[in-house]
Structure 1
C-alpha cells in the first residue's frame, strides 16, 4: 500500500543533495539558455524544457561492460521518471538534483542533428554503431513535439550508418519509415526495455513511460517490419520483478523479439538515497527486504562500480537470475542470434573506391 507521503506521477519523491553544490557550480551561458521562474512550489509537477548548445553530440563510451562504443543523447534529464535510472547522477553536473530535478528540468539539444552530420563527415571517422541514447531516453514525451531524434535518424539514413536505439516508449513507431529503410541495409537494431508485465509495477517504477501493452505492441510492429528487436529486462530488482523473468521472455518471444538482455539493479551515487526514499513510500512493507537483497548482490553495498560484476551482480541471488535467463533463452529463443550491423554502405558512400576491395 502506498504511503500517504507518496507523490504520484513522478518517480523520485524528493530532490536530494547535489554533491557539486560546494563547488558553486555554474553553467556557461554559451551552453544554456534558461530563465528560472521564481516561486515554484515544492510539489509543482510542471516540467520545464531548456535549450542548451553543446559543441559535440557523439559520445565515446569508455565503460567496458556497457555494450556500446558511441552514443548520442538528444536530451539530458528524462520525464519518464524511472526511479532506478543510472543517468540521474549526470544531472548533478548541470547543477541540478538527481531526484525530482532530473524529471522536471529537461535540457534539450536542438542542434544535435547538425553536430551529428558534422561528425559523420570527418575523414577519420570509422562507422562504429552509434546508439540513441546511452543516457536518457531519446523518445521521451517531448520528442513527439521537437522531433530531434527523428532528425538525427534522417542523418543516419542519409549516411547509411549503423544505428542502435534504446527506448521504452512506443513513439519509436512514428519513425517506422526511416527504420525500415535502415533495416534494408542491415544498419539498425532496436532495444525495447520491458521490466515487468504488471501495469501496477510499471506505474511505480516508470511512471511516465508507455504501458506494457504498448511496449509489447511496439516489439511486434517493429519485428513484423523486419527490424531486429532485442528486449532489455533491465534492471532486475529483487522481490519486485525478479519473479517475472520467464513470463517476460515468453511474452516478448511471442511478439517477435530475437534476443533478451538483463542487468541487476545497482544504486550508484545519489540513486541509493533516491531509491531508498522511494521504496519506503511506494512499497513500505517490502522496503527493507528489497534493499538488503540488493546489497547482497553487490558485495554488501547498494553502490557497485566494479567492471565485470556491477551489471550482473554476484552471490546466490544473482546466480539464480542468471540461471533463469539461461533457461528462458533456451526455452523461448532457441537458435536466435543478433547479426552484426553492416558498415560497408557508409564506407562506400564515404569512399567510392572502397567497393573495389
Structure 2
C-alpha cells in the first residue's frame, strides 16, 4: 500500500493500521482511521471545523501559525477540494436563479425552468435552494412579491389591481388575501398606517441628475441584518481577495452596495445585500462570486455624509421629501450605493456615501 497523507485532515500515514476502512473493513489509502471508517466519514464537519480541531494537535508551532498553515493545506486535499467545487457550483447556480426571480416577479416560478437555469435536476433543486437561501422556493417568491407590493403601497399611488398584475396574482382579491395573511393587515390599512407623517420639507436635498454609463460588477450576496459587521467584513474580504487573485483590482474600480430590501418591511435577518466591485469587462460567475450588469441611464445622485447607520433615515428623506416634490419619478433599474471613502481609514462622521436612484422625468 502506498503511504501518503490523510486527504481529510492532512495527517501523515506511516503504518497500515493508521489508514481508514471501507464498508468491508479493507484499508483505504486516502484517509486516516480517525476521519474515515466503514466507508464513511466519522463526522460531517466543515473544513473550518476541521482546521480548528487539527490546529490543537500541532503543538510544535503557535495556534495562529497552525491555523494559517491548515487553511492553505486543507483546500488542496481530496475531501475538501471535491466539496468546495460542489459548493461553488451550487452557489453559482442559485445566484443565476435569484437574478432570474428578481426580474420575473410577475411570473409563477416554474420548477423545470428554474432547475434548467441552475443546471441542477428538479429533484435536487429544492434541497439546494433551501440549504443556501434558508427558505423554500415558494415561500421565497411569495415573500418577495408581497414585500414589493408593500414598498409600492408606501411610495406610490399604484392601484392594487395594477400591483396584482405586476406580481403575478390573478386578481386584486387574491393579492389582498395573501397580503393580509403575510402582514396581518389588509393593503388599504397598511398603506394608511405606513404613510410617513414626518415633515421632511426642512431637509431639502439637492441631488445631481446625471446620465451614467452601464457598469459591469462582480458581487457576493449577503442575507443578514443590514450592517452586520462580521458577515459584511467577511463578504468584502472574500470579494477583495477574489479580485486580487484574478488581477481585477485597478484604479477605476468602484466599491458599490446593492440593498434589495427595505428593513422597515422585510424581516431583518432576511435582508439581501450585494457587496459589489466594478470591473472593466464582464466575467462568468465563479462560486459565491456572481456577476451582473447595472444598466446605464438617468440617475439622481445624493451624497450622504456620516455613519452608515444614518442611511435608513436619509432614504426616507429621499422617498418622502425629495421625490414627491421633484420633477422626477422612479424608473425600473438598479438602486445602488457607492462607497467613496474607506470606513477603515476615516471617522464615521466623515464617511462619504453616494446614493444612486434611477429616475425619469414625470
| TM-score of the aligned structures, taking structure 2 as reference length | 0.23
Q: Point out which structure has higher relative CO (alpha carbons under 8 A, 6+ apart).
A: 1
Instruction: Name the structure with the higher helix share.
Output: 2
Bigger Cα Rg? 2
- By percentage of residues, which structure has more strand? 2
